Amino acid sequence: MRKLFIITLFLCLGTVTLAAQDLTSNAAYRAYIDSLSRVYATLETKEITSNAAYKAYIDSLETEYGQLIEEWNETIPPHFIEAMRLEKEAEANPEWKDSLLALAAEERRIGQSLMPSLQAEQDRIQEMRNATMLHYALVFEDAFLYFSDRKNYTKDELADILKSASAEIRHSPRGKALKKYIRHNPPVEGEKFKTFCCYDVNGKRFDWSLCKGKKVFLIHDGLWCMTHGMDNSALRNYLQHIIEAAPECLPLIFVNGETKEELQKSVETYGLQDFWVVSEFQKDYGTLNWLYNDTVTPTCHYIDERGILVKTTGGIDTKYLEKEFLRINETL
């Protein structure tokens, strides 16, 4: 049971390497996992004995991988760009066409000749990373990704996984969140929204009584996605239009994070000083994750004036929000 779960986790992680593998049969799965075990056995590293050491090692591999990507970008594309330039020049200068095309072909040959060794090195680093993650999947917290991957398992399977995990994982924030998720059933649409303890940018406990008689539009993180990484004022402007058109609406923005400083930075970055922005300071292991089972950000919860959860959506459903939930007639 334990090995089966580790295999399944790895298949969700190693997307770069798996893309090149034929894993259409159980035998292929087993063979690939066995190959990773052999890869791990050849790693030139001491046995990792702590989560910090594990994280440092994975970070070092990812840094090395990033450096290889930079090397690739600096050495290979210029040859193909030069080849295209020469080919274009050959079209404009028929008298030099053969010579220019020969030079272009040589540039392409050089670029292509550099690719195999760099690709092999990238594959080696990626395989080392995946093999290490697989080896420690049930040992260290940072290798334990079952909570974020929980939708792919039944709760009984997750319970067995947790039993197989180390004490460090079981007592970690991820392990505790998974245990809560296994034990609780999420509220469904039409039921009372269950409030929980969270804090504002000043570290003061949020008073849920402020939501009484209001239609609460709760946005769970994902602020960058809603501004498309370009216009940081987009969300603020949209929410301002919403409350002007529907004063009974109370936008409530919940931010994942671990510190008050992170929460304050989000408020400043997106100009949300005029809105309620809160957090549990539990990263992505908080109540909205383990109880309401939010697995994507933003996830939006629409809570009516009676405190009833009427709908949950991945991302903002502006049509539903404006036309059905708030019944705004005009188009914002």
Query: Which pLDDT tens digit goes with each residue over 207-264?
Result: 999 999 999 999 999 988 877 656 888 999 999 999 999 999 999 999 998 999 999 9
Domain ranges of the chain: 2-143, 150-183, 208-325
What is the per-residue pLDDT across 179-190, written as a single tens digit (0 to 9) for each?
Answer: 999 999 989 999
Q: How far apart are the first and last CA of the chain?
A: 53
Low-confidence ranges of the chain (pLDDT < 70): 1-30, 33, 44-46, 228-230, 330-332
pLDDT given at position 24: 44
Whole-structure pTM over 0.85, yes or no?
A: no
The pLDDT assigned to 47 comes to: 77
Q: Which residue in 120, 111, 125, 142 sits closest to 48, CA to CA?
A: 142
d(CA 193, CA 240): 24
Cβ atoms of 80 and 72 within 8 Å: the answer is: no
φ, ψ at 175 (rounded to 5°)? -65, -45
Topology of the domain covering 208-325? Glutaredoxin (3.40.30)
Residue 323 sits at φ, ψ, to 5 deg, of -90, -35
Give the sheet arrangement for strand 299-303, strand by strand: 276-278, 249-254, 215-220, 299-303, 309-314
